[in-house]
A and B are shown apart, each in its own frame.
Chain A
Amino acid sequence: DTAVSQTPKYLVTQMGNDKSIKCEQNLGHDTMYWYKQDSKKFLKIMFSYNNKELIINETVPNRFSPKSPDKAHLNLHINSLELGDSAVYFCASSQRQGAKDFGPGTRLTVT
């Protein structure tokens, strides 16, 4: 009965590689998000997406791209990984801009 799930939980990879993180929600929410939490625990929005609109935080490098095959999934693809991409990435969902349900996070380590 998991609400928001992410895979993988941990991801260790080398600089320059391309990787994807998957996210699924079974809450019927219309909006999904990706957040990045840095070492200081600050949560920063990367993308928000519903079936009509993708809103991109302008500070996010274009190496990051969200892909949504349907309204229950929002995957995050990252090209040419850099050391500074190391962080915990959280997927979340909500109904419109309401309260958000978060996934368990994906800890990405770039070596």
Chain B
Amino acid sequence: TQLLEQSPQFLSIQEGENLTVYCNSSSVFSSLQWYRQEPGEGPVLLVTVVTGGEVKKLKRLTFQFGDARKDSSLHITAAQPGDTGLYLCAGTGPGGQNFVFGPGTRLSVLP
């Protein structure tokens, strides 16, 4: 069974600070996705990365897929209160099977 770990579990920062959250596994994934979930809502896809070493940017968010496709990071620059939410990584195993979610990082950005 492929498992994903995320760190930190909780993160509380002030508006304007930078932060990085991590998603790690001992398994190789064919692709990895990041979602953000706000209270009372379903997860919303932010990005999909598929190539080892790939870097994608979405405004102030930078996503990186590890060279070995076992880990990923999400960096947020100049965090804003609107970034508050639960950030979930999810990976698809080789052959497109075994899609799993990590436990999430709960981010709180204080004004």
Q: Which residues of A contact B (CB under 8 A)?
A: 4, 40-45, 90, 92, 96-105
Give how many B residues have a beta carbon under 8 Å from the other chain's beta carbons.
22
Closest-CB distance, A24 to chain B (whole angstroms): 14
Q: Which residues of B contact A (CB under 8 A)?
A: 33, 35, 37, 40-45, 48, 86, 88, 90, 92, 96-97, 99-101, 103-104, 106
Q: Given the interface contacts A43-B88, A90-B42, A105-B40, does A99 sit within 8 Å of B104 by beta carbon?
A: no
**Could you say which residues of chain B place their CB within 8 Å of the CB of A96?**
96
Q: Which 8 A-B pairs have the closest CB atoms?
A: A102-B42, A97-B96, A43-B101, A99-B45, A102-B43, A90-B42, A42-B103, A105-B42
Looking at chain A's contact residues, the main secondary structure is: loop
Pairs across A and B, CB under 8 Å, 8 listed? A40-B103, A41-B106, A90-B43, A99-B45, A102-B43, A102-B44, A103-B42, A104-B41
